[in-house]
C-alpha cells in the first residue's frame, strides 16, 4: 500500500494503517452525525419537558422540580469530563460512544417503563378535591425515576465528550481536501444539534403532552436504539486514533513537579530548562505564571536519570508541557465568566415552561405544549447563525475588515443579550402576575397570551447562538494541540456549572424569602418570579463586567 493511500496517524478496525479510499470521509462522518442528532433529540425531548412531569405527574413543588432538572442537566455535562478522560486514556472514542450510547438506551427504557407501571408514579390529582391533596411520589417511585434519568446522564456524558472528536478523526488534517471537509463537518455538527433539539421541542413534546408520556419516552428510546445500530454499522469504515494518555495527568505532573522544586531558583537562561521536543512542536517559554517553570528545572537527580535514558515525569517536565498547562490556565477566567449565561438558559427549560403552562397557548383549536415554546429558542439560534454567516461576515469581507467577530467578542455580545432576555422576562412575568391576582389557580389557563413569552425565548436563543459558537471556537483555538479533548470537556462544564448555579440560586432565594413573600412557591401564580428574573439580570450584569475585565486581561497576556 503506497504512503499516499494511507492516513499516517490513523488505523482501521483491525489496527492496520487506514486506507484513505475505504475508511473515513463523509460516509463515516454521516453515521456519527446521525448519532449526535438522535442523542440531542432524545435528550432534549426528555429535558425540556421534565419539569412538567415532575410537577404535574410526580406532584413535586415548582422549586423542587426546577432544581432536579437543573441538577440533572449539570451532572450530565459534568460527566463529560470523566468521559473525556476515559476516551483519551483507556477506551478510545469509538468504544466510549458505543458503550455510553447503550447506557443512554438503558436509562430511557427504564424511564419509559416507569410511565407504564402504575405503581411507579403517583395517581392523578382528584379535581373534586383541593389541589393541595395531590399525593406526591413516594420513595420507590422517586428512586426508580432518579435511577432512570441519571443513567441517561451517564450516557450523555460519555457521548458528548467523544462524538465531535470521533467525527473529526474521519478527516486527515494533513490532507488539504479533507481538512476543508472537516471544517464543514463542524458546521453541520452544530446544525444537526439544533435540528435535533427543534424536533424534540415540537414533535416529541407534542407526543408527551397530547398523546401519552409512554409514547414520547418510548420514541426517545427507539431513536437512541436506532442510533446505536447505525453507529455500529459503520465500524469497518471508521478511522481510529490511538489513545495518547490523559492531559489531566500531564497537568498534575507539572503541578507536582513545580511544588517539589518550589524552593529552587529559576535559572535566567532558559536553555538550562529541560525540553526534549522537536523544534516543530516546541513551545517557547512565556513569562506569565513563572512559578510553574520550576517543573522544568533539572537538578542532580534529574541529570542522572537523563543520562540513563529516562526521566521521572513527576519530578521533571519539559518547557513545552509547562507552557501547555499555562495556556489552559490562561483560559480559566473566560471559562468562569461564561458560566452565568447557562443560568439564563436553565430558566428557559424550567420556570419559563411553568409560566407557559399557566397561559393561553392556542392557535385556533390547536394548543401548543408549554415546553414547545423552546422551539422559539432554537429557531432564534438558527436565525442568528444564518444572519451572522450570510450578512455580518459578508459585510465584513466587503469592507476589508476581519472575518466577523472574534470568539471573545461573540461571547461578550451573547452575554449582553442574555441580560436583555432576563429583563424582558421580568417585565412579562410582572404582567402575568397582575392578571393572576384574584384568579383561581386551579381553574383554566390565565386570560393572557403565552406568546408574550416569545421575546424572552428569542433573546435567550440569540444569546446562545453567539455564546456557544464563541466558546467552541475559543476553547479549541486557545488550547494546546494535545489538550483539545480536555478543552472541549472544559467548555461543556460551563453548561454544567451554569445549571448547578441556577439550582443554588433557587435554593438561596427560596430560603431568603420564605418568611416574607416567597418568591418561588409551589404555585408560581402566588410568587414573585419577576423579582427572581430581575435578580438574575443583575447578577448577569455584574458577570458581564467581570467578563470584560477577563477578556482584556487575556488579550493583554496573549500579546506579552
Residues 338 and 321 in one domain: no
Residues 309 and 344 in one domain: no
Q: How many domains is the chain partitioned into structurally?
A: 3
Give this prediction's pTM. 0.78
Question: Between residues 16 and 282, which one has the greater pLDDT?
Answer: 16
4 pLDDT above the threshold of 60: yes
Q: What pLDDT does residue 480 have?
A: 77
Residues 174 and 292 in one domain: no
Residues 295 and 336 in one domain: no
Domain span at residue 156 reads 1-244
Residues 45 and 144 in one domain: yes
Residues 372 and 297 in one domain: no
Q: State which H helix or E strand residue 19 sits in.
A: strand 17-19
Angstrom distance (rounded) from CA 329 to CA 326: 5
pLDDT, tens digit (0-9, with 9 covering 90-100), for 498-548: 988 998 999 899 889 887 788 988 888 888 999 999 999 999 999 999 999
Domain boundary among 329, 356, 379: 329
CB 269 within 8 A of CB 277: no
CATH code (residue 398): 1.20.1250.20
Residues 34 and 171 in one domain: yes
Residue 407's contacts (CB-CB under 8 Å, 6 or more residues apart) are 470, 471, 473, 474, 477
Residues 260 and 394 in one domain: no
Residues 296 and 374 in one domain: no
Domain boundary among 296, 329, 362: 329
CA-based nearest residue to 68, from 153, 133, 138 = 153
Q: What pLDDT does residue 365 have?
A: 76
Domain boundary among 308, 329, 350: 329
pLDDT, tens digit (0-9, with 9 covering 90-100), for 441-476: 555 678 888 899 999 999 999 999 889 888 877 887
Angstrom distance (rounded) from CA 420 to CA 378: 17
Residues 55 and 197 in one domain: yes
Question: Between residues 55 and 282, which one has the greater pLDDT?
Answer: 55
Residue carrying C-alpha cell 454544567: 496
Residues 251 and 240 in one domain: no
CB 79 within 8 A of CB 240: no
Residues 336 and 321 in one domain: no
Angstrom distance (rounded) from CA 438 to CA 10: 68
CA-based nearest residue to 435, from 360, 533, 348, 537 = 360
Amino acid at each position: 500500500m503506497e504512503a499516499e493511500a494511507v492516513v499516517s496517524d490513523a488505523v482501521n478496525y483491525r489496527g492496520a494503517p487506514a486506507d484513505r479510499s475505504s475508511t473515513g470521509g463523509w460516509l463515516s462522518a454521516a453515521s456519527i452525525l446521525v448519532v449526535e442528532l438522535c442523542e440531542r433529540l432524545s435528550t432534549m425531548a426528555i429535558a425540556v419537558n421534565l419539569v412538567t412531569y415532575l410537577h404535574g405527574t410526580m406532584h413535586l413543588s415548582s422549586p423542587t422540580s426546577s432544581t432536579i432538572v437543573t441538577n440533572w442537566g449539570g451532572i450530565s455535562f459534568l460527566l463529560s469530563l470523566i468521559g473525556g478522560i476515559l476516551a483519551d486514556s483507556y477506551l478510545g472514542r469509538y468504544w466510549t460512544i458505543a458503550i455510553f450510547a447503550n447506557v443512554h438506551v438503558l436509562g430511557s427504557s427504564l424511564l419509559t417503563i416507569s410511565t407504564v407501571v402504575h405503581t411507579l408514579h403517583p395517581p392523578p390529582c382528584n379535581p373534586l378535591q383541593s389541589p393541595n391533596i395531590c399525593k406526591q411520589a413516594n420513595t420507590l417511585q422517586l428512586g426508580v425515576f432518579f435511577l432512570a434519568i441519571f443513567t441517561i446522564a451517564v450516557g450523555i456524558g460519555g457521548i458528548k465528550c467523544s462524538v465531535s472528536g470521533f467525527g473529526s478523526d474521519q478527516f486527515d488534517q494533513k490532507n488539504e481536501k479533507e481538512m476543508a471537509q472537516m471544517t464543514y463537518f463542524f458546521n453541520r455538527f452544530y446544525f444537526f444539534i439544533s435540528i435535533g433539539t427543534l424536533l424534540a421541542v415540537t414533535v416529541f413534546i407534542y407526543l408527551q403532552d397530547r398523546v401519552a408520556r409512554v409514547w414520547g419516552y418510548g420514541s426517545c428510546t427507539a431513536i437512541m436504539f436506532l442510533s446505536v445500530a447505525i453507529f455500529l454499522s459503520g465500524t469497518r469504515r471508521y478511522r481510529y486514533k490511538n489513545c495518547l494518555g490523559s492531559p489531566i495527568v500531564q497537568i498534575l505532573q507539572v503541578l507536582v513537579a513545580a511544588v517539589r522544586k518550589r524552593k529552587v531558583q529559576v535559572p535566567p537562561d532558559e536553555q538550562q530548562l529541560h525540553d526534549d521536543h522537536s523544534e516543530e512542536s516546541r513551545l517557547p517559554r512565556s513569562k506569565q505564571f513563572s512559578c510553574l517553570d520550576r517543573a522544568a528545572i533539572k537538578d542532580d537527580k534529574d541529570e542522572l536519570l537523563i543520562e540513563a535514558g529516562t526521566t521521572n515525569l513527576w519530578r521533571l517536565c519539559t518547557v513545552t508541557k509547562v507552557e501547555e498547562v499555562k495556556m489552559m490556565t490562561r483560559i480559566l477566567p473566560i471559562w468562569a465568566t461564561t458560566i452565568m449565561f447557562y443560568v439564563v438558559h436553565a430558566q428557559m427549560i424550567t420556570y419559563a415552561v411553568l409560566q407557559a403552562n399557566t397561559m393561553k397557548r392556542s392557535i385556533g383549536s390547536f394548543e401548543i405544549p408549554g415546553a414547545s415554546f423552546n422551539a422559539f429558542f432554537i429557531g432564534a439560534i438558527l436565525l442568528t447563525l444564518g444572519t451572522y454567516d450570510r450578512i455580518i461576515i459578508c459585510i465584513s469581507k466587503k469592507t476589508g475588515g476581519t472575518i466577523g467577530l472574534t470568539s471573545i467578542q461573540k461571547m461578550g455580545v451573547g452575554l449582553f443579550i442574555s441580560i436583555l432576555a432576563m429583563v424582558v422576562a421580568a417585565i412579562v412575568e410582572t404582567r402575568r402576575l397582575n392578571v393572576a391576582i384574584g384568579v383561581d389557580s386551579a381553574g383554566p389557563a390565565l386570560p393572557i397570551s403565552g406568546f408574550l413569552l416569545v421575546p424572552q425565548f428569542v433573546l435567550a436563543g440569540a444569546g446562545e447562538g453567539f455564546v456557544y459558537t464563541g466558546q467552541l471556537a475559543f476553547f479549541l483555538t486557545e488550547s494546546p494541540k494535545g489538550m483539545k479533548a480536555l478543552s472541549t470537556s472544559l467548555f461543556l462544564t460551563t453548561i454544567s456549572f451554569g445549571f448547578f448555579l441556577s439550582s443554588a440560586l433557587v435554593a438561596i432565594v427560596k430560603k431568603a424569602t420564605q418568611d416574607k413573600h416567597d418568591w418561588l412557591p409551589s404555585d408560581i401564580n402566588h410568587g414573585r418570579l419577576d423579582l427572581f428574573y430581575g435578580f438574575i439580570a443583575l447578577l448577569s450584569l455584574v458577570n458581564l463586567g467581570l467578563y470584560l475585565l477577563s477578556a482584556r486581561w487575556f488579550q493583554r497576556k496573549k500579546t506579552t
